[in-house]
Amino acid sequence: MGSFQDITFSIAEFAHLARIEKGEISKLEAAGIIDTFRRKQGNSDRKVLNLESVQRYFEAKRIGRHGDQLLLPKHKVQMFYNVKGGTGKSTLTAQFVMKASMLGLRVLAIDLDGQGHLTVNLDVLDGHERPTIYDVLINDLPLQDAIMQVAPKLDLVAANLGLCNIEIPLNNKPRREYRLSEALEKIKHNYDLIVADTNPAASILNGSMLVASDLVNVVCATNPLSFHGMSLVMATIEHMEREFKRSLEVKIIPNMYDNREVISQEVLGELRSQFEENCTKTVINRSADLNEATKRRSSVWQVNTRGVAASDIRHLADELLAP
């Protein structure tokens, strides 16, 4: 199983992804909208599409009816956030950015956690040798120079342990919470979507991303402690809104849901009643496929195209990328 950039799509998989009939594919091919090539798999020779061809298809579809405007996500700069650890932020960030790039968006992923889990989830294993947002915010490295490509239309600002030391020097910088958004301003035009994974704390670095974001995606595991922590998360966000005189759009994504567990059902019910406006319709089920994708450092689509997790990520992407 290769990494995300080597992903290929069989005709059936592409039809499923594009929500079209298999029969339409030869027409798309004849019209030059997609290209297929043959790839040997065992004894058979299968027709497949590569990532770039799939991206071109979706890009062409996004052009408005009159050919004059592109249908792009309403929220261009997004972050996955929770002061509580282990709720699934890095997993969902990685799956979301891979999905968005499959859909032909030009995506920048930013790892704002010294643990570097987004970096690893995107199969970048030499993160310790890469520049990070530390170099940008503290040593004035142009953001452009901290960006690497991980796949066609998917770029990354990697993270490594050195990023854990950013809080004190960042605290001493003038306009500390604005530095990240000012850096992003300079490169924003190169992307359709910018998504950050954050560290599990009420840190200045996370505060900087709250200042820069159009949408905050709070990942809440459907367990009692995660639910309990939600009031702190919402209070942190409200504090930032007052301090920086911004109104932030917040979505809450219920994660690790297990419909066989009463406790999961109860927490989901509480989340929906207390934060009715904010909860996404999509609930991410607990699934072995997501763990497997983390292990393989690949997209969940590559693990099991027709599995529950691939379908959950697809619905999540539909919601978070709405124009």
Ligand X SMILES: Nc1ncnc2c1ncn2[C@@H]1O[C@H](COP(=O)(O)OP(=O)(O)OP(=O)(O)O)[C@@H](O)[C@H]1O
**Which residues form the interface with ligand X (CB under 6 A)?**
85-91, 113, 115, 117, 200, 255-256, 284, 286-287, 290-291, 294
Q: Choose one: 56-64, 117-125, 272-280, 297-305; the region binding Mg ion (CB under 5 A).
A: 117-125
Answer yes or no: are the C-beta atoms of 237 and 209 closer than 8 Å.
no
Q: How far is the CB of 12 from ligand X (least distance, A)?
A: 26
Residue-wise DSSP of 143-169:
GGGGEEEEETTEEEE---GGGGG-HHH
Q: What is the distance between the alpha carbons of residues 287 and 264, in angstroms, rounded to a whole number?
A: 14
- Per CB under 5 A, 251 contacts Mg ion: no
Where are the strands (E) in 146-245, listed by range?
Answer: 147-151, 154-157, 193-198, 215-221
Q: What does 86 interact with, of Mg ion, ligand X, none (CB < 5 to 8 A by kind)?
A: ligand X
Q: Which is nearer to Mg ion, 117 or 314 (CB)?
A: 117
Using the minimum distance from each CB to ligand X, give the nearer residue, 206 or 287.
Answer: 287
Residue type, 78: Q
By C-beta, is 36 or 91 nearer to ligand X?
91
Least distance in angstroms from the C-beta of 229 to ligand X? 11
Measured in degrees and rounded to the nearest 5, phi and psi for residue 33 equal -80, -35
79-93 burial, b at 16+ Cβ within 10 Å, e below that, comes to: bbbbbbeebbbbbbb
Residue placing its CB nearer to ligand X in the complex, 163 or 256: 256
Residue placing its CB nearer to ligand X in the complex, 53 or 121: 121
Task: Write down the least CB distance from residue 117 to Mg ion, Å.
Answer: 4
Sequence-ordered list of residues with C-beta below 8 angstroms from that of 283, at least 6 positions apart, any chain: 222, 254, 255, 257, 268, 312
Smallest gap from Cβ 92 to ligand X, in A, equals: 7
Could you give the CA distance from residue 173 to residue 171 in angstroms, rounded to a whole number? Answer: 6
Specify the residue, 50 or 255, whose C-beta has the smaller distance to ligand X: 255
The nearest distance, CB 97 to ligand X, in angstroms, is 13
**What is the DSSP track for 23-84?**
THHHHHHHTTS---EEEEETTEEEEEEEHHHHHHHHHHHHB-TTSS-B---S--EEEEE-SS
Q: How far is the CB of 291 from ligand X (least distance, A)?
A: 4
Instruction: Report the candidate in 147, 154, 100 with the shortest Cα–Cα distance to residue 122.
Output: 154
| 117 contributes a contact to Mg ion by CB under 5 A | yes
User: Cβ–Cβ contacts within 10 Å for residue 238, how many?
Assistant: 12
Q: Work out which of 89, 153, 251, 286 binds Mg ion, going by CB under 5 A.
A: 89
Least distance from ligand X to the Cβ atom of residue 42, Å: 30
Closer to ligand X at the Cβ: 111 or 155? 111
Among Mg ion, ligand X, none, residue 256 binds (CB under 5-8 Å by kind): ligand X
Task: Please identify which residue in 53, 90, 160, 285 interacts with Mg ion, judged by CB under 5 A.
Answer: 90
Smallest distance, Mg ion to C-beta of residue 221, A: 12
Asked if 84 touches Mg ion (CB under 5 A), the answer is no
Tokens, residue 262: 């009463």
Residues in contact with Mg ion, counted by CB under 5 A, come to a total of 3
Distances in Å between the Cα of 180 and the Cα atoms of 64, 65, 94, 238, 244 are 32, 36, 21, 20, 14
Residue 93 and residue 219 in contact, taking contact as beta carbons nearer than 8 Å = no
Smaller CB distance to ligand X: residue 10 or 311? 311
Residues near Mg ion (CB under 5 A): 89-90, 117
